Amino acid sequence: MNISIFGLGYVGCVGAACLAKLGHHVIGNDISENKVRLINEGKPTIIEADIDELVKEGRESGRLEASMDIQYVVDKSDISFICVGTPSGKQGHLNLDYIYNVARQIGKAIRHKESFHIVAIRSTVLPGTNKRVGEIIAEASGKQRGRDFTVVSNPEFLREGTSVEDYINPPLTLIGTDSEDAEKTFRELYKDIHGEFIATDIEVAEIMKYVNNTYHALKIVFANEVGNICKSLGIDSHKVMEIFCKDRQLNISPYYFKPGFAYGGSCLPKDCKALRTLAHDHYVKTPVINAIDPSNELQKKIAMDIIESKGRKSIGILGLSFKAGTDDLRNSPIVDVAEVLYGKGYDVRIYDRNVRVSQLTGTNADFIQAKLPRLYQIITDDLDEICQACDVLVVTNKEKEFADLPEKYPHKCIVDLVRQFKALDYEGNYEGISWANINNNAAQDQPIERNMLTTEY
């Protein structure tokens, strides 16, 4: 394929060299005359393992060149990659001037071009940038997105020092696009790249690099705080983390990475508190570990705010235990929410077929006696009774019996804390705690008839 790359810095140079290695014809462009000259001399613009040989090989084969003539670069390519910098401002906002300037130049260059042109944003940008780039190109070219050109988001996941290896052998290749033709083109473009090819929503692709890097930073800080605690106790922290990383079923896995409601149960709250206390007793500062509990409490407040925003008095809570398939109520986060709602005068009713009030003993009984002493009056194992009587249904556990709620009980307000539904065409009001836009029914937008004012939590 014929490819142009705008920006011959770290990302652009690696991309140009690797795409040439894969057999594509690549033309680079940069505002720096020196970078253009280096590429045309068969020399890289960066210092990186294996890049020297790849640039030299690409230039000698005739598959890699560079030019400062933007019209020439665009005319000779079908795909243009934007790889320019997005520096951060003092307040943390990105400076997207370089992105937008390149988009405007590409737009002007395709004004008289008859063939369909694909623009791929490789730079790290925030959600909404792809849409704006498309608008700029349309304004500058007089052409229509989707008919004459399109813009895809193709974030890079390269580590300095191993970027060439990461490019050829990535964990995955990600494309955000609304164009089937662009998706097909990129599948062909990257057919020799190892790793799963994933095509997704544009906004999902745009935010992924930020989520990845923030999590990488979190991992480093978490490991450092664990190390500091271990050092204060004379424990080898590297042995601790080496064993920690061997657990691929829970520790290093997708298991806990599903946005939703707060955690609870007998283990996580107790053990997090114990580790914080241990650090405190040894005068070790652990700001990240200390922030876990407040963040968990915040998720409870978010759930409360969503429920109260519906403005309805009767609330049906579907599931009281801290997770599906158990009767364990200890530190169940929804118990705290139910307690507050009940105290504010809401008509709270609870369904949980696993919880038998008459059989509650020990810690379970003590916990409920302290939180919801009148539980026996408001809990039932009759799901239909709750759903018929209540205006707001709060799904707290991912049970199979909740899967047909929208069909069986239309026009209710459903608050989903566990992503019970992947997509919906539901005439009632639906809201997920940490996700949106899954209900595509127009009735979703109709005003809710409120019978109870919201109050401060």
Over residues 9-68, the pLDDT tens digits come to 999 999 999 999 999 999 999 999 999 999 999 999 999 989 999 999 999 999 999 999
Instruction: State the chain's mean pLDDT as an integer.
Output: 91
Over 50: is that where the pLDDT of 358 sits?
no
Query: Which pLDDT score, from 0 to 100, does residue 432 have?
Result: 94
Q: b/e map of 265-296 (b: 16 or more CB within 10 Å)?
A: beebbeebeebbeebeeeebebeebeebbeeb
Q: b/e map of 49-69 (b: 16 or more CB within 10 Å)?
A: ebbeebbbebbeeebbbbbee
| Residue 193, burial from CB neighbour count under 10 angstroms (0-12, 13-18, 19+) | middle
Over 70: is that where the pLDDT of 456 sits?
no
Long-range (24+ apart) CB contacts under 8 A made by 379-386 are: 379/320, 379/349, 379/350, 379/351, 379/352, 379/355, 380/349, 380/350, 380/351, 381/351, 381/352, 381/353, 382/351, 383/318, 383/351, 383/353, 385/351, 386/316, 386/318, 386/349, 386/350, 386/351
- The answer to whether residues 340 and 312 touch, using CB atoms and an 8 Å cutoff, is no
Choosing from 13, 18, 83, 267, which is the catalytic residue?
267
Across residues 363-388, what is the average pLDDT? 77
Long-range (24+ apart) CB contacts under 8 A made by 383-388 are: 383/318, 383/351, 383/353, 385/351, 386/316, 386/318, 386/349, 386/350, 386/351, 387/316, 387/351, 387/412
The residue that leads in pLDDT, 111 or 356, is 111
- The answer to whether residues 17 and 164 touch, using CB atoms and an 8 Å cutoff, is yes
Which residues contact residue 186 at a Cβ distance below 8 angstroms, ignoring those fewer than 6 apart?
120, 152, 154, 175, 177, 197, 199
Model confidence at 457, pLDDT cuts 50, 70, 90, reads very low
- The answer to whether residues 107 and 137 touch, using CB atoms and an 8 Å cutoff, is yes
The residue that leads in pLDDT, 326 or 299, is 299
Q: Which of 79-88, 323-332, 354-363, 440-449 has the lowest mean pLDDT?
A: 354-363
Query: Which pLDDT score, from 0 to 100, does residue 364 have?
Result: 62
Over 90: is that where the pLDDT of 367 sits?
no
Nearest to 78 by CA among 190, 185, 197: 185
Q: Is 45 helix (H, G, I), strand (E, B) or coil?
A: coil
The sign of the torsion formed by the CA atoms of 69, 74, 79, 84 equals positive
Across residues 242-270, what is the average pLDDT? 90
Q: Which of 222-236, 351-365, 376-390 has the lowest mean pLDDT?
A: 351-365
Query: Which pLDDT score, from 0 to 100, does residue 41 have?
Result: 97
Q: Which domains does the chain have, with CATH numbers?
A: 2-200 (3.40.50.720), 297-445 (3.40.50.720)
Across residues 88-96, what is the average pLDDT? 80
For a pLDDT cut of 70, what percent of the chain falls above it?
A: 94
Over 70: is that where the pLDDT of 280 sits?
yes
Over 50: is that where the pLDDT of 349 sits?
yes
Side chain identity at 179, as an amino acid letter?
Answer: S
Over 90: is that where the pLDDT of 160 sits?
no
Over residues 410-439, the pLDDT tens digits come to 999 999 999 999 899 998 899 999 998 899
Is 230 an annotated catalytic residue? no
Query: 201 is written with which tokens?
Result: 């929503």
Global confidence as pTM: 0.86
Over 80: is that where the pLDDT of 376 sits?
no
For a pLDDT cut of 90, what percent of the chain falls above it?
A: 73
Across residues 198-214, what is the average pLDDT? 95
Over 70: is that where the pLDDT of 188 sits?
yes
Over 70: is that where the pLDDT of 251 sits?
yes
